[in-house]
Amino acid sequence: MVVCKKWVLCTAFIGPPEASNFKLETEELPDQLKSGEVLCEAVYLSVDPYMRLFSVPVGSVLMGEQVARVTKSENPDYPVGTFVQIMVGWRTHTILSDPSKLQKVVGTGDLPTSLALGVLGMPGMTAYFGFLEACRPKSGEIVYVNGAAGAVGSAVGQIAKIKGCTVIGSAGSDEKCKWLKDELKFDAVFNYKNASLEDALKEHAPKGIDCFFDNVGGEDTTVVLKHMNKCGRAAICGGISQYNKDKKDKGELPYSAILINLLHVEGIQGWHHVTRWPEGKADMLQWIQEGKMKYKESVTEGFENTVPAFIGLFKGHNVGKAIVKI
C-alpha cells in the first residue's frame, strides 16, 4: 500500500493565507497498478501566488504543478525513472494514466528538473508570451516591471534586455534590487518600500514608459499607466497587492490615461499560450545556455513545509522561483 500525503484547504482564505487554512491528510493508493497506469512520486512542488487568486473549494487538495518521478509503471511510454510535470496539486503520490496529463520533463542537460516549474515552466512561459505578445517590445524602448525579483518578473526583465530595451525594475528589498542590478543587469532598480512610485518613475523613466509588465496591481498600476508614453502596452499579469484583500482597492480609474495615450492594456496568463510553450522553452533554454538568462530558486525543504513556503510568497520571502523540495 502506498500512502500519499496531501495538503487540503480546510477553511476559505480570508485575508493573507494562514497555517490554519491548511490541513495535512493522507490517502491510501492501491499497490497494484492497472495497465497504462504509472505511480508518480513528487520531487519538487511549485508554490505560486495564483493559488490564492484562483482558490480551490474548501475540502479540496491545493492546486499546483509538480515535477515527479515515475516509481512504478504499467505504461511502456513512461518507464520507471521518467521525470514528468503534472498538475495534480499539493500531494506526494499520484497514479495517472492519461498521457495528456503526463508531460515529460524535456531534457535540459545538466540543468535541474525543477526548472520545469520555473524559468522553463509556467512562470517562464508567462514571462515569455505575456511580455512578447502583450507588450510587443521594440529595441530601444523603456520597460518597467514590478515584482521584478519574482519568478516571472526576473525573466521579463532579462527578456527585455535581450530584446534591446532599457529595463527599470522594482522590488521589495535592497538585496533583491542588488541582484537585479548586479547579476541580471537591469538598467535601473528601486526598492518600492523606500520610494514614492510616482517620484521613482520620474527619476528612473524621465522619458516615460513604453512597456509595462504588472505583477502588483492596485492603485500603483494606475500610477504607472499615467506615466506611459503614447501607444504604450501594459501586460496585466498579476495583482499580488490585491489577492489577500477581500475588498479590492478603490482608486483613480485609468480610463482617461488609456484613452488619451492610446494605451493597450491586456490581461495575460501563461497557460493561455500552452500550445506554443515548446517554442518559448526552446528560446529560454538557449538563452540560459548562452548565459543571457539567469534564474534563482528559493528552495524550501520538505513536504511538511509547503504551507510556510506558500505563505512566504506574500511576505516577499522568495527571490526568483519558490519551490518545495520533497
Closest separation between CB of residue 237 and a copy of itself, Å? 7
Among 85, 166, 221, 318, binds a copy of itself (CB under 8 A): 221
What does the block give as the cell for 299? Answer: 528552495
Closest C-alpha among 130, 6, 147 to residue 64: 6
Closest separation between CB of residue 274 and a copy of itself, Å? 13
Element (H, E) at 155: helix 151-162
Scanning the structure block, which residue is given the C-alpha cell 511576505? 315
Among 175, 183, 198, 252, binds a copy of itself (CB under 8 A): 252
Contact 42, 91 (CB under 8 A): yes
Cα→Cα distances 243→160, 220, 297, Å: 27, 14, 23
251 binds a copy of itself (CB under 8 A): yes
Closest separation between CB of residue 229 and a copy of itself, Å? 12
Q: Which amino acid is at 294?
A: K
Dihedral pair phi/psi, residue 260, rounded to 5°: -65, -40
Among 17, 147, 157, 254, binds a copy of itself (CB under 8 A): 254
253 binds a copy of itself (CB under 8 A): yes
Closest separation between CB of residue 14 and a copy of itself, Å? 17
What is the chain's Cα-based Rg?
20
Among 1, 250, 275, 290, binds a copy of itself (CB under 8 A): 250
214 binds a copy of itself (CB under 8 A): yes
> What is d(CA 73, CA 129) in angstroms, rounded to the nearest whole number?
35
Contact 16, 311 (CB under 8 A): yes
248 binds a copy of itself (CB under 8 A): yes
Among 113, 126, 158, 222, binds a copy of itself (CB under 8 A): 222
Q: Find the helix packing angle between 219-226 and 197-204, rounded to 10°.
A: 30
* Binding pattern for the stretch 43-62 against a copy of itself, x by CB under 8 A and - elsewhere: ----------x---------
Q: Is 6 left (phi over 0), alpha (psi -120 to 50) or beta?
A: beta
- Segment interacting with a copy of itself (CB under 8 A) among 15-23, 161-169, 189-197, 233-241: 233-241
37 binds a copy of itself (CB under 8 A): no
Nearer to a copy of itself, 256 or 286 (CB): 256
Residue numbers at the binding site for a copy of itself (CB under 8 A): 53, 214, 217-219, 221-222, 236-239, 242, 248-256, 258-269, 272
